[in-house]
Amino acid sequence: MMAPGIIYGGASNFDGVFTQKQRDVFSSSTVPKGHLGSLFAPASSSNFLGSSSMVSFRGVNGGKRSFFDSFDQDDNEADELGEYFHQAEKKRRLTDNQVQFLEKSFGEENKLEPERKVQLAKELGLQPRQIAIWFQNRRARWKTKQLEKDYDELRNRYDTLKSNYNNLLKEKEDLRTEVFHLTDKLFVKEKGNGQLSLCEENKHSDALAKETVADPISRVEMSNVPALVVKHQQEDLSSAKSDVFDSESPRYTGRVHSSVIDQGDSARIFETEQSDLSQDDDENFSKTMLSTANLLGKAADDDYPATSSNLSYFGYPVEDQGFGFWTY
DNA sequence: TTGTGTTTTATTGCCTCC
DNA sequence: GGAGGCAATAAAACACAA
């Protein structure tokens, strides 16, 4: 893109747009300095503040904003024009007071109605166009800041969610270990005193407890478990519950039944978890969060019927979890 | 003083709305 | 079709270290 058409000197019959190079040539050699100096005196003695001395010829050749846009018609007064041409010099920053005033106005309303623009311009001794540009740039800065803020907030939420997710994984792992040990105890009881437990048979009790093989049922089937237990699993599980588990501690029967022995959702939890443990990238994290959270919500209902039927462990409505993790 | 990075002011082109 | 907004960009002004 070519450089903006800012002209030192603002010759009134100029009808084009100068690039920086052209301007440099113009100011340094083409036009005698004395001539320019007499036309565009410094603004030091004027109350015409800011960069109003800059003349834009944007749009003269087809652009929609003509040079006279700077005056917004109602400001297009002859004396102001004359003053304008006598103030031409380099780009200037607004004074602190002007900026303060504009900031205050921006704080009240970041959009600029035409009346307010003219009013501000008069009060600050600037061109309405300068006011409009200042507001435009100010909105751009505000938007950038806002984006940074939003990003930080999202990042924090994401980190928190990920942390919760990891905690849940750990908790599930602990629970699975507990389930395994309790199941093992049951086998010992089934076999009677003096018989080997599953752990002992496999000679890897501790290691097994920490393995990531997900489904205890699969583990049971893979082991040389007593036929009675396998039969119970393959038959009606509710009767298995009454035949085997009800004779034991109620605390464990309930938990084992609903969280582990039940087929369907609970089994899928473990399937999901197995794959979870082998992946760690953020994308998969998000996906597995969604599926796991939904399943956990369902499992929680099974375990704790008194809880709301549509809340997951995160306390979010399950139906909102489609992609609702990121909503405010 | 000078080089360099940042901020501010302004332009340009495109888009939307009335 | 004109007015105004926005994104991208240029360039002056400014800050600051070496």
CB within 7 A of strand B (chain A, 289-328): none
Highest mean pLDDT among A184-198, A235-249, A279-293 belongs to A184-198
Q: What angle do CA A48, A52, A57 make, to 5 degrees?
A: 150
pLDDT, one tens digit per residue, over A209-244 is 444 444 444 444 334 333 333 334 443 333 333 333
Look at phi and psi of residue A203 and say left if phi exceeds 0, alpha if psi is from -120 to 50, else beta.
left
Straight-line distance from CA A208 to C1' B17, in Å? 69
Neighbour count for residue A242 (Cβ, 10 Å): 12
Q: Which residues contact A157 (CB under 8 A, 6 or more apart)?
A: A325, A326
Angle, to 10 degrees, between the axis of helix A128-191 and the axis of helix A282-303?
50
| Complete DSSP assignment for A197-224 | PHHHHHT-HHHHHH-----HHHHHHHTT
For the question of whether the overall pTM of this predicted structure is more than 0.85, the answer is: no
State the nearest residue by CA to the C1' of C10: A3
pLDDT, one tens digit per residue, over A20-68 is 333 333 333 323 232 333 233 333 333 333 334 344 333 333 233 433 3
Handedness of CA A84, A86, A91, A93 (dihedral sign): negative
State the nearest residue by CA to the C1' of C3: A64
Which nucleotides of strand C are protein-proximal, with an atom < 7 A from a CB?
2-14
State the nearest residue by CA to the C1' of B8: A93
**A96: Cβ under 7 Å from strand B?**
no
